[in-house]
Chain A
Amino acid sequence: MASPSSATSLSSTDPTGDARERPPVGLLVLGILTGVVFLGPFAYVVSRNVDLGTDLGSIIWSADTWEPLRRSLWLGFMVSATSVVVGTGLAWLTIRTDLPGRRVFRILAPLPLVFPSFVGATALIAAFATGGLAEELLSPIGIDSLPDMNGFRGAWLVLTLFTFPYVYLPVAARMASLPPSLEESARLLGRSPWGVFRTVVLPQVSSAIWAGALLVFLYTISDWGAVNLLRYDTLTRDIYADRLFDQPRAMGLALVLGVVALIVVSAERSLDRRRQRVEVVRTRAALIVPLGRWRWPALGGVVLVLGNALAGPVAVFVFWGWRGIRANSDTIGLGTDLGELVTPAVHTAQAGLITAAIAIAVVLPVAWLTARYRSRVGGAANSMVVAGFALPGVVIALSIVFWAIDAPIIGRWYQTFPLLILAYVLHFGAQATRAAHVAVGAVPERLSDAASTLGAGRVRRFFTIEIPLMTPGLLAGAGLVMLSTMKELPATKILAPTGFDTLATEIWSAGESGALAQGALASLALVAVSAVLTWAVVLRRLDHY
């Protein structure tokens, strides 16, 4: 065991990293297998295009494709940019400063991710539309014209408010594990808090920021719920509009979306390969920066963001629930309606937790290949896993129907729990893989090498040294997967076992039958369940590291 590990420690001092050690065969096989499974949705889209005889040329060279594609990319870029600012800022303020109430904000900050975007858009429309709630509240004080939230502006706002946790969680996890020494030196040299943040903290978290920004981008270009309700005509909105009666076009556009995602993912990966790797082991508690006179303005900013992303929607739901219960006290009762939400809440938690654990386990070999060995095979598998996130949920779900229903053995699992979990993992594996990549990158090879020299075996090193060091990063990834799974709708509706209602499906069916109050109660339950789980699974442990 001594000779390969000494090779590792030699190459780790080589910044170009080209002369790397070859990865173990077992790990390569796992990586290839993962890549092949995640290829499923893409293979389905390609196969449908072939079957339908899609005239791809006329789709690609049509303004009817370019315009929605341009809007998708523009929206994706803008939402990513604002999410980076909001997510990184919140992470720094809540983890590294003496911001008042930071412990509470740490629990609240990831939660906006749990709102399905159609729910967030509905709340925004209810609040800001002509004659909506905000107008009712503001007209007495003389404000009676509100900005029009339809189109780009509304979609940008809603998607930023509900996706910035993709940046917040990995960055917060990273910041929580940074060693304080550099920052201490910088402060001793007289740098302001902002200066310390810019010159010391930011470079060390840039990999996590990029990871989050990529997820926001991919989520945005695959989103249908918000852009549909707010009427911003993106590629995904066209895919949905044409999915039944113009299938060649829908599938052609899905292919365009998938290829665009692959290009973006590969480009980001090649940038990431060039970024310097920061290996960190924390020996002491993270440094807390005193905000001084910036304390209250900073608090104001945090309250503004979380007020709009969390308190605002919650207020709208409380209002709807309360109004519905008052108006129809004979048909809607707080006790009975909340009682009916218990089983869906349990299903939601179950799906979220199991998917998160399996997603982490599945993507860890790929992350190991890319972060430790910079393997090309690992890179290809990684691109498959990550780009899958850009395909709309309904496409992922149908691809599983397509591959599984006629397959021997697996076909019998159709509409059972394991295939549902597989769909979730295929859809959200990207969120785990980028976080896992960052986590593996945080493990100093020399530590593992030292343990190996001392006679620790591979398995023992993994569990005693590497897992504890990776835990913050892995938990951040698990938290993202968990929250995304808990709000997932299209795959749940197509693949869940019959009768497996989740809170997301309850919200959807309440919306379909116009039962605003029940939908509001289910939304509140979803926020409550995710708050408890986020705290119990992710944040409570993050605090210990």
Chain B
Amino acid sequence: MKTPLRILTALLALTLLATACGDDSGDSSSITVYSGRDQDLIEPLLEAFTAATGIEVNARYEGSADLALQIQTEGGNSPADVFISQSPGALGLLAGEDRLAPLDSSLTGLVDPGYAASDDTWVGITGRVRVIVYNSDLVDAADLPATVLDLTDPQYAGQVGVAPENGSFQDFVTAMRSELGEDATAEWLAGMAANNSPNYPKNSAIVEAVGRGEVPLGLVNHYYNLRALEADPSLPSVNHFLDAGDLGSLVIVTGGAVLESSDAKSEAEQLLAFLLNEESQAAFAAGTQEYPLLPGVAAPTGLPALEGYATDTIDYSVLGDGLTGTIELIRESGLAQ
């Protein structure tokens, strides 16, 4: 009859044992990475980094927004040395709270000036291009709009899937604010809302819906459809790249940063440099169909060259700082209802 007590005691002992084992050493030849990028994609690169440098990497994987929130809450005692983010917005938020250490200019200098923070707090690693994904069974390519601004036209009512709560959509709206101003952006959002543009929780959901024929068009990043086609090549979903310079073909970077609280900043910078070397950049292009940002590394096969897409007019540091305003603007427009 004492069995329940015995089981409980054993479980508690087990727990304490687990604690004793979980004790980590503050050894500087190992770094902790908080990665907002997929494990499948990043893990092989981290292993290659350890093989090349002898620096051990502990990696944790989560959504970029939640990682930024976690780093913010952890404060000065954060175990993280490196933060790799899907979106510049999450990096910008942490930079704004002085949580990111300025990077060496030799590191930020690896990419075009438009692809790093103006205050050197983060550096771009890959680029994604905003596209219009369309269902080729339902839409004739000739009927596609010339610019994303035309999508407010009544002929597109109910036709364009959007993801107003998604980071990339918010980055795109922020870019629109910095390019066209508040009023024009509010007007475009209101137009999209008036068109009853169906909204989805994320990019991949839009691509799936377009593939099924639930909605003929959608605003997404370019690589979601490429992945969907890899899984099922018979899908009728096609990427439409708008002309270079159009806001609808904005380049959105994924980036990396070193935390101000890190006690292994130099090892952390070595990792970012490693992710920006030719082999890693080529691996990104092959593995995720994303654009390498290191000049000279070829774009993924079958995609237009990134050079066509002028981005120097858009200040990425504005994208991060301005996100709170963007979210308010989107909420006021009613697009997310």
Contact = CB atoms under 8 A, between A and B. Distances in A.
Interface of A: 64, 125, 129-132, 228-229, 231, 233, 241-246, 324, 327-328, 353-354, 357-358, 361, 394, 398, 401-402, 405-406, 411-418, 421, 463-464, 467, 490, 493-494, 497-499, 509, 512-517
Given A324-B231, A401-B70, A415 B79 contact: yes
Given A244-B90, A405-B77, A417 B328 contact: no
A4 to B, nearest CB: 24
Nearest to B23: A412
Interface string B189-204: 0000000000111001
Contact of B22 (A324, A398, A413, A515): A413
The dominant DSSP class at the A interface is helix
Given A464-B1, A514-B231, A405 B90 contact: no
B212 A132 contact: yes
A405 B22 contact: no
B212 A130 contact: yes
Given A130-B212, A412-B23, A509 B39 contact: yes
B19 A406 contact: no
A401 B15 contact: no
Given A361-B8, A398-B73, A411-B77, A131 B327 contact: no
Nearest to B328: A246
Nearest to B59: A498
Nearest to B209: A129
Interface residues of B, number: 66
B11 interface: yes
Given A490-B66, A497-B22, A513-B41, A246 B327 contact: yes
Interface of B: 1-2, 4-5, 7-8, 11-12, 14-16, 18-19, 22-23, 32, 38-41, 58-63, 65-66, 68-70, 73-79, 89-90, 93, 165, 170, 199-201, 204-205, 209, 211-214, 224, 227-228, 231-232, 323-324, 326-328, 331, 336-337
Nearest to A398: B73
A467 B4 contact: yes
Nearest to A505: B61
A327 B213 contact: no
Nearest to B212: A131
B214 A131 contact: yes
B269 to A, nearest CB: 21
A513 B324 contact: no
B274 to A, nearest CB: 20
B201 A229 contact: yes
B87 to A, nearest CB: 10
A122 B255 CA distance: 29
Contacts of A509: 38-40, 61
B60 A514 contact: no
B191 to A, nearest CB: 20
Given A417-B15, A418-B18, A514 B66 contact: no
Given A416-B23, A418-B19, 6 more contacts: A229-B205, A493-B61, A498-B32, A513-B38, A513-B39, A514-B231
Given A327-B232, A354-B11, A357-B7, A131 B77 contact: no
B4 A463 contact: yes
Contacts of B212: 129-132
Contacts of A467: 4
B201 A493 contact: no
A493 B62 contact: yes
A245 B327 contact: yes
A498 B70 contact: no
B214 A244 contact: no
Contacts of A246: 324, 327-328
A490 B58 CA distance: 19
A241 B165 contact: yes
6 contacts: A131-B211, A233-B336, A354-B11, A415-B22, A499-B58, A516-B231
Contact of B74 (A245, A401, A490, A512): A401
A242 B93 CA distance: 13
Contacts of A401: 70, 73-74
Contacts of B204: 514
The 10 nearest A-B residue pairs measured at CB: A131-B212, A416-B22, A417-B18, A130-B214, A513-B38, A245-B323, A244-B65, A514-B227, A401-B73, A498-B58
A358 B73 contact: no
Given A64-B331, A467-B4, A516-B231, A358 B11 contact: yes
Contact of A514 (B78, B89, B228): B228
B221 to A, nearest CB: 12
A225 to B, nearest CB: 10
A391 B165 CA distance: 21
A231 B231 contact: no
Contact of B231 (A233, A327, A405, A415): A327
Nearest to B58: A498
B93 A498 contact: no
Contacts of B336: 233, 241
A189 to B, nearest CB: 40
Contact of B79 (A354, A394, A414, A417): A414
A288 B179 CA distance: 74
B4 A131 contact: no
A358 B18 CA distance: 15
A231 B201 contact: yes
B70 A242 contact: no
Contacts of B228: 514
